[in-house]
Structure 1
Amino acid sequence: MSASLFNEIICDPQNNYYSVENGVLYNKEKTSIIMCFQRNFTSFIMPETVETVWRAVFAGHIIENITFSSKLRAISESCFQESHIVNVTIPDSVKSIGDSAFYHCKYLNSVVIGNGITIIPAKCFAESNISNIIFNDKITTIKGSAFLNCINLKYMKLPKTLTNIEGNVFPHDVVLDFPEDAPFSFDNQGLLYNSSKSIIYMRFSDLEHYDIPSTVSIISNGLFSSLGKLKSINFTSNSSLTTILDGAFWGCINLEYIDFPNTLTYIGNHAFRDCNSLKTIHFPDSLIAINVYAFQSCRKLTEVHFGRNIKSIGMTFYACGSLETVIFVGSDGTDLGKNSFIYCSKLKTIILRNITKIQSNCFWGCTSLQSIEIPDTIQIIGSNVFINSGIENITFFGKSFNIYYSVSSI
């Protein structure tokens, strides 16, 4: 429920659970702020009894200044998102801040982080106009996209306690001041790693080509996202890469080809979404799972070959309008997830070997798909698998299995 739907709230003084003061809804003891219905004030002094502020309480408000309670322990998710807050000093009493707490705060200028905080959460200050931040000396982790697209943030002095940085944390043009002996390293390509170079956290460059060291096992969230200049990625023959995380190459519109190493096991959500120059993909036998939307709207993708050990794919190839051929050669059972090939309107050939499940809407809108052979390994076919497709012939092999609607409605 949004507080913006109400002009006023009145609470019976005899209510045993809630109280209202100046348009702010509290629990009875005033230890929690639950909602703020007064959207016109620019300053707010928090009662000293308050310990927690609930999700999105001041989101979208014109509040500019706030005095926090000295007993405040938690600022919840999206609490000040898109508000007019200008300067923030987090008191030492606060132990946790929720994701996106100050997301898209276009008036935010400076932030001081109190001594109780050890983790800066995901998207905490992303898309804000913050220009200055002072960390305490207890911060250990900065989570994904915490300062993404903070265009006025040009310099950051990082605490000596910092040991973990997740993907796409900082704006790409920020100057980072690391303490001596910090467990991070840069290379001459402008890539930021952990000390062992097993994780790439960020890039601070816009190159056409990158060489990924053999030590790298994880490519972090959004690492190369929206890098329109990127044309190629090179992995060494002895690569250690196992994981490509969410959105890692999203929007790399000129990436034409990628030769995945034989160590890769997982590709995350949206990892190659809108990579409009990819044409053919050969997945290695090591690959086990691809998550949802991983190759969504790859407009020139025509052919996909899976390796022998793929176990599951999600809504992976959504709206790949040029995709014509898909080949599975798996030796173990594979689960085709919901909407896996939805709206692949040019898909004509799909070879399904050792498939165990075809989930709902898998081939919905595949108008060029006229025939398909279902292998004897199949166990389940979900609903609406071939609805709005061009399917005319389905050949079933092997023993019985479960179909979750009538065959005539396929």
Structure 2
Amino acid sequence: QSSQLEKINLGCLTLNSEVLVFSSTVTSVPQKCFMNNQHINYVQLNQIQELDYQCFIGLLNLRLIEGLQLKTIQKQVFQECSNLERANFPLLQKIGENSFCLCQKLQLFDFRSNNKFSLSQCEFYHCKGLLFVSILSVIDLGIESFSNCANMQRCSFKSAENIKQNCFYGCVQLKWVQIPKVKHIQKEAFQGCVSLKYVQLDQNRCQIHKNSFNGCGNLKFVKSAFQNKKQVNTKRVKQKIQRINNLQRLY
């Protein structure tokens, strides 16, 4: 860690009362730089655009991080930051494997960038605190990207075209998924999603593996979750969809 810290001029950062602040002259954080540091509660990245491999891994007391200029997160950057609750990266363009793996209290991931990108594997694995996820610009949802997010109830990926194996495996509270442009859903992508009721997609353009929805006994496909009254005609479902729509406006 000390050798990596030497790459940052120590006058360009401050750590006061568990708050880590980088100056505007720092644009990247080297690999493993703050690994397993237990004195950091909040991080303000300012002008930093890239976080390298494992630079914040294992920060058990980290709760909030803001990076308004951040564009790239490499592999395992926040893995096992078990108390991280919120990450705000509006310009993010790349998320590496296992980036937020085992961040069990992560509740809000603010992602508003229009730059197209892909998830590859286990980015949000076992993030039990996630309730709702909306990422407008993701094209590919990776292997186990959201696996075992046990409390996630709704998700929206309006640009997603491919959903890979075990992507949502074990998301037992997931009820509603919006993937209107999806073209391929690989095997066991939604296996064990026992509460899943509605998936918005176009069945005429989507190839679905026969085992994609194993264990989803109450599933119904809807082409348009907001307009198809013949398929979604109960007052209760309409109210749920309206709440989702209201949440999406926040993102």
Identity of paired residues, percent?
23
In 2, Cα distance between the equivalents of 1:325 and 1:318? 15
Give yes or no for the alignment of 1:229 onto 2:39.
yes
Asked if structure 1 preserves the Cα contact closer than 8 Å seen for 2:13 and 2:23, the reply is: no
In 1, Cα distance between the equivalents of 2:45 and 2:13? 17
Asked if structure 2 preserves the Cα contact closer than 8 Å seen for 1:289 and 1:310, the reply is: no
In 1, Cα distance between the equivalents of 2:21 and 2:213? 52
In 2, Cα distance between the equivalents of 1:185 and 1:393? 49
- Normalising to structure 2: TM-score of the pair? 0.74
In 2, Cα distance between the equivalents of 1:382 and 1:354? 17
Q: Which residue of 1 aligns with 2:75?
A: 269
C-alpha displacement of 1:214: 1.6
Residue type of the alignment partner of 1:379: K
Give yes or no for the alignment of 1:242 onto 2:85.
no
C-alpha displacement of 1:337: 0.8
C-alpha displacement of 1:406: 5.2
C-alpha change, 1:213 and 1:389, in structure 2 (3 Å) is same
Residue type of the alignment partner of 1:373: Q
Matched position secondary structure for 2:125: coil
Paired residues for 1:3-402 under 5 Å: 168=1, 170=3, 186-188=9-11, 208-236=18-46, 239=47, 241-262=48-69, 264-284=70-90, 286-307=91-112, 308-314=114-120, 315-330=122-137, 334-375=139-180, 377-390=181-194, 391-397=196-202, 399-402=204-207
Residue type of the alignment partner of 2:206: F
C-alpha displacement of 1:347: 0.6
Asked if structure 2 preserves the Cα contact closer than 8 Å seen for 1:268 and 1:294, the reply is: yes
Asked if structure 1 preserves the Cα contact closer than 8 Å seen for 2:51 and 2:74, the reply is: yes
Matched position secondary structure for 1:258: strand
Encode CA deviations 1:82-139: one digit per residue, 9 max, x unaligned.
Answer: xxxxxxxxxxxxxxxxxxxxxxxxxxxxxxxxxxxxxxxxxxxxxxxxxxxxxxxxxx
- Normalising to structure 1: TM-score of the pair? 0.47
CA root-mean-square deviation: 2.7
Q: Which residue of 2 aligns with 1:163?
A: none
C-alpha change, 1:358 and 1:185, in structure 2 (3 Å) is closer
Residue type of the alignment partner of 2:126: A
Encode CA deviations 1:116-165: one digit per residue, 9 max, x unaligned.
Answer: xxxxxxxxxxxxxxxxxxxxxxxxxxxxxxxxxxxxxxxxxxxxxxxxxx
Structure 2: stretches of 5+ with no match in the other structure: 217-251
Higher relative contact order (CA 8 A, sep 6+): 2
In 2, Cα distance between the equivalents of 1:260 and 1:406? 39
Structure holding more strand per residue:
1
Asked if structure 2 preserves the Cα contact closer than 8 Å seen for 1:339 and 1:364, the reply is: yes
C-alpha displacement of 1:223: 0.9
Asked if structure 2 preserves the Cα contact closer than 8 Å seen for 1:255 and 1:275, the reply is: yes
C-alpha displacement of 1:321: 1.5
In 2, Cα distance between the equivalents of 1:388 and 1:215? 47
C-alpha displacement of 1:261: 2.0
C-alpha displacement of 1:392: 2.8
Structure 1: stretches of 5+ with no match in the other structure: 1-167, 177-183, 192-204
C-alpha displacement of 1:169: 6.3
Structure holding more helix per residue:
2
Encode CA deviations 1:302-352: one digit per residue, 9 max, x unaligned.
Answer: 22232222511231011112211111122xx52111100011110101112
C-alpha displacement of 1:356: 1.6
C-alpha change, 1:231 and 1:385, in structure 2 (3 Å) is same
State the number of aligned residues. Answer: 212
Q: Which has the larger radius of gyration?
A: 1
Asked if structure 1 preserves the Cα contact closer than 8 Å seen for 2:128 and 2:151, the reply is: yes
In 2, Cα distance between the equivalents of 1:408 and 1:188? 54
C-alpha change, 1:345 and 1:401, in structure 2 (3 Å) is same
